[in-house]
Amino acid sequence: MTMKEFQARRRGMKKTQRQLADLLGVSLRAIHSFEQGWRRIPVHVERQMLFLVMLARRTHKPVAACWVIRQCPPHVRTSCPAWELKAGHYCWFINGTKCQGKTMHTWQAKMQTCRRCKVFLAAVGPAVSER
């Protein structure tokens, strides 16, 4: 997540930097650092931020589970943590999922795939483009 996206998502949730710091369990100085690009946004902060965005955006429109949308074959589904946990709407949040038939081992690799996925986009919306 870029500093611009982080800031735009905070503003989209209508949170001050202090409010977001409290929600994420980090210092106000950390939020300043993330938004100014002085400090890299840690994976655990990015995950939590995206989860909060999802909660703030929640709609009542049902979204199909990831394995339906992505048309995963049965042998891929049964070995995927999202299927096992019946969390097809939260697949983007769970590490080790079997997107595109292979295990996503790192958050960065996972997010490259997720940012183009209908399930992720329905949950948290598109990334904010840098201007």
Determine if the pTM surpasses 0.95.
no
The pLDDT tens digits for 68-116 are 988 889 988 888 999 999 998 889 998 888 887 778 778 888 888 888 8
Distance CA 21, CA 28 (A): 5
Which domains does the chain carry?
A: 3-57 (1.10.260), 66-124 (no CATH)
What amino acid occupies position 103? T
pLDDT, tens digit, for every residue of 6-50? Answer: 999 999 999 999 999 999 999 999 999 999 999 999 999 999 999
User: Rounded to an integer, what distance in angstroms lies between the CA atom of residue 39 and that of residue 116?
Assistant: 26
- What percent of the chain shows pLDDT beyond 90? 47
